[in-house]
Chain A
Amino acid sequence: MDIKLDITDRSEILRYLGYRGSEITEVVENTIQEGIALSNKLIKIGMTYRFLNIIERENGIEVEGEHFTLTGKAIKKHLKGYDRAMFFCLTIGSAFDREVEKQMVKNPTLAVILNACGIQAVEKACDALQLKAEEETGMKTGVRFSPGYGDLPLSTQKDFIRILNTERLAGVTINENYLMNPRKTVTAVCGLKKED
């Protein structure tokens, strides 16, 4: 599976940047265009996903055969009625982080714009991945849910990283505070079921 992305949604990027409708100066407009072009060049999607059986338990949702339970009320509610789920990790790669770091010194305006492009890119890519998965399986995917949402502990990130073998397959690692590297990375689970 291959995901091709084109980050051209200027209005989405403006939304991430907290834009509230004022006049945009020429310099900033040019920088937005530069950011979009640069993003399209830098983004290198890495991803890994698995379809797994899930079982509802007292304390949360058990992932079958993986020594791993997603704990909490929120995830129970979120995955209610599903017995299968897609687990995935998706990143836009480390070159992007490096460029933001660089531009923070050289051109901070471009750095924050790139950052917004990155957020948009990773979200869009996740949408695309879910669509592809639906085509592949002929099933419907639910809304994605990530470690740290609701009462699902952020530490669950470690288990996502492990069961998805993200280090080898997508180049994604995690530190002791559960921050992922590259920075623009999403791990998530979404329910999977036959269309009603």
Chain B
Amino acid sequence: MRYETVIGLEVHLQLDTQTKAFCGCANRFGSSPNSQTCPVCLGFPGSLPVLNEKAFLHAIKVALALGCKIQDLIKFDRKNYYYPDLPKNYQISQYDMPLSYDGRIDIKVDGKDKLIRIKRVHMEEDAGKLVHPEGASHSLVDYNRAGTPLLEIVTEPDLSSPEEAYEYLTKLKSILGYLKVSDCDMEKGSLRCDANISIRPAGEKTLGTKVEVKNMNSFKNVRQALEHEEKRQAEAVEDKVKIVQETRLWDPDRGVTVSMRSKEEAQDYRYFPEPDLVPFVVDKRVIEDIRSALPELPEARRARFMDEFALPEYDASVLTADIDTAEYFEESARVSGKAKIVANWIMGDMAAMSNARNIGIRELGLSAGSLASIIKMIDSGAISGKIAKEVLNDAIETKKDPEEIVRLKGLTQISDGGQIETAVAAVLAKNEKSVKDYKDGKKNALTFLVGQVMKETKGKANPALVNEILKKKLGE
């Protein structure tokens, strides 16, 4: 039988604020355990939460960027459950009245556009972290993370494949990056994703039994886990095994999902309105101010890049996926005036280098001016495209000015016919067989000979000139 897959995603996003959601402690990653805490985020008796306005405004910003409606009355609720990393044994969250709802993200999979509805975006606080010292019979708790402002972004079950889930996450991360509200680093846990997935016979209207999948710490993990789960569920149905509503953990090493708890063991969170925080109405003007101050988002920027820089859609999409790349491109394109060439460099060599180093394009440390000067040197014929790659690499490694690198290393392209003729003569003398091959009609011998001349000139010879002179000499 053919099945169709139904997926909904829940993303937890740590907001990048100076202080925590409900107290004045620094919201900082990587400090020594329990150093970023106070009676409030430790849930000490008598302490009370006070909402961090900045975190709330960030939340509104995200909600508006995702096209959500904002709730008229903002209210918080308590989600009650016991766990040692949760200092009060309840989490301040939002239940029946999330601060925003009914948003959307548009994705493109296999060339087709698809709308993914955002069901809700709500605010809550993060928990601490358990630490399990190796070999010890006890566990320790680090509350530094407790009280960090979180957004939960929940989709409707609109995703129909693991690939769509991947694309959705990529797009979401791209938008969040533009908003500069979070570093969206899954490895650090500042962005986390849980998935609900079910299958049903193709064409069937009612939903199948859903399974929640957790513990996926990269977008690739999400895709793999969902691919596995999709297959597992289909096989179960084929084998007439009933799919149970449960939570399963992704085991990245084995590439499988493992049952964690069934619905019967599911918690009753006993939500009720948080009495320590007074419900409040957000001034419509505040919302409109945030809306009008929203930055240009990836899609708008892509359209503008196509229009303003005459870029192909593919290039514009790649360059706008990440805010840093988009800004770097735009700056470099303006400085050099050669948008398409800048795009090629960024998408080619520079992307390769930043990927290899696992850093962002800005962190390569090549200024827009430096990139422009490399492009200018190629354009004027001062260096060859091949040498340019070497200069780019050097400039990134040594942080030196590209023109200075060319000067110091003597990389200026040889466009002097006399010098090239000398090199050609030397090469022809050493490669009689290739000369003969060429004359016998094996035209690819020319490519070899060009290569030899380039080698003789340490890559500095103007390739066009080398070609021309070689052909002339071989024709004699």
Binding partners A and B:
no
**Interface on A for B, CB 8 Å cutoff?**
none
